[in-house]
Amino acid sequence: MIASIIAMAPPAQQGQQGGGGGFIAFLPLILIFLIFYMLILRPQAKRQRMHQQMLDSINKGDRIVSTGGLHGVILKINEREGTLLVKFGDDVKIVMDRAAVARKLVD
């Protein structure tokens, strides 16, 4: 029975190798990585760069929103420690990390 199955197999052709080329086999993986880069990694890096520019541009007197959603006004900036003294209410002043600023409000 096995002999008849082997006899039905097509004959091997001389001079041809199977398996395709090495680059062609990796082409789908390369395309997936490029799509991943263009849709996810590049926009995220752009957002981080814009957020860092916003953090570098904040000054005393700017109105900000913290990552917790609190709205306040910057009273003092401590560059050495990377902190801000922010006024959130009439008698509420809090020292917060500069990185905790979500956005700067524009008048």
Strand 101-105 and strand 63-66: the pairing is antiparallel
What pLDDT, on a 0 to 100 scale, did the predictor assign at position 96?
95
What pLDDT, on a 0 to 100 scale, did the predictor assign at position 2?
64
Looking at domain 59-107, does it have CATH number 2.30.30.140?
A: yes
What pLDDT, on a 0 to 100 scale, did the predictor assign at position 11?
63
Instruction: Tell me if 67 sits within 8 A of 101, measured CB to CB.
Output: yes
The tens place of each residue's pLDDT in the chain, 107 residues long, gives 666 666 666 665 665 555 556 778 888 899 999 999 999 999 999 999 999 999 999 999 999 999 999 999 999 999 999 999 999 999 999 999 999 999 999 87
Distance CA(74)–CA(64), nearest Å, equals 7
Average pLDDT of every residue of the chain: 86
The domain segmentation of the chain, as residue ranges, is 23-57, 59-107
